[in-house]
Structure 1
Amino acid sequence: MQIFKDKVILITGANRGIGRALVDALLNNEAGKIYATCRNLSTMPVFDDSRVVPLFLDITDDQQIARIAAATQDTEILINNAGVLSAGNILDGDLSGMDNDMNVNYLGTIKMMRAFAPILRKNKPSKMINIVSIAAYSPLPSIAGYAASKAALFSATQSVRIELAKEGVAVYAVNPGAIDTDMNKGSDWDMPDPDSIALKILEYISKGKLDIVPDEMGQGMYNIWREDPSKLAKIFSDLYYAENTN
């Protein structure tokens, strides 16, 4: 995957899950420099590689985004991975949790896209990669606020792709299913590990695939949705009521 060789890459939420796995995968694919950002640097793994530059960043904070953008003007690939998940349905769930999901997953990522679009235009050909979620298609009521924030991000990603299409910036949407990360801790689903998923993501990007579903579970959900959205809704309806009767 030579397209990552010597590239300067910024990853949000790089301290765990898919973000951490992407750092490792990119190092193994000869990335030149990786700005690894997160909200709490004490949780950042020791990558033991001089190419990794850890940076503190809360993507909901305008001033921090501006500071990081000013300090990373050489960024050629932006990976918007930072995200949160608050459990709860629409009618009875905690609104503060839904608000946090939307502020981080949607508005925070939009702020990053806006701040880094000029940098990526300057450093073209370049890439903007948004880690969204298969939940953008999947109406599971128990994580409805999260799903809504990811659906909004998926829509925004498609719009930005069109905006930047003629400016040398390729925009990717990655929609994983359930992955074995801290976000899904406690789930009894059979989930792939983030390291294998990170490699799949890089493989698809290297092939120029703009809409990426990197795992079998996600691909299954996406294929059902593409055939008939009501079929996927039925699957999640059955799952939801099964969970609430056990």
Structure 2
Amino acid sequence: MGAGTADGARLRTGELTVIGRISVASNVTLVCDIADTTEPPLRVVYKPVRGERPLWDFPDGTLAGREVASYLISDALGWGVIPETILRDGPYGPGMVQRWVESVDNHTDQGNRLDLVDLCPPGAVPDGFKEVLRALDPAGNEVSLIHADDPRLQRMAVLDVLLNNADRKGGHALEGLDGAVYGVDHGICLHREDKLRTVLWGWAGQPVDDGLIADIEAFTKVLPGPVADALSEHITDAEIDALVGRTEELLEYRVMPLPHSSRPIPWPAF
């Protein structure tokens, strides 16, 4: 969903002050504040185009636009999975700017609980979770990769199918303090070729929820017009056509796809 009028205006025109860098990110990812004389600072993430790492299969300089296009699709569906994301100028030139998500900390002094995507001992998958695969951790111990059987997360998994998300890692699914589940890092989405790589395979082969299908049907009615016009500023006509094809296929079969590549999960998974 879009931000409120005041915050939306600040997101688009407010001065970005860099306060830190997310060092584990593949591309330059800066945490910024947008100050206001009457309101608390607005926290955002800023990824300048000049800080994007070249990839062999995605054109250089397009990742920021793909993040914006992914947000536009989530917003048009009415799902609000992706925080408001725009393309604008910043201290290091044009880049993606996205509202910061204040997320739940499940690992505190008061005790630990599992994250939306987590690891557990094999054969010990807790209630309310789905096992994706078994693997070896860095110490050589067998572990199960699991994710929550949560409708908020399932909606994200369906969105990833539409976006053709090539990089849904566990750390890209955030449980907000507001009770919503958000997805971040959509720079390598919307390729015309099938590149779906995700940790959210727990619903593979299962029917898509009727409510989500209804939202997708409504989305198809606006996609050829205003949505496609907005997307054309960030992705190619061929990539928009591929999005239309994925949408039509999901509506035809109404079932989550099965993995069918040699690399169905991004690595590292978190």
Q: TM-score range by the shorter chain?
A: under 0.3
Determine which structure has the larger strand proportion and give its number.
Answer: 2
TM-score by length of 2: 0.25
Q: Identify the structure with the greater helix proportion.
A: 1
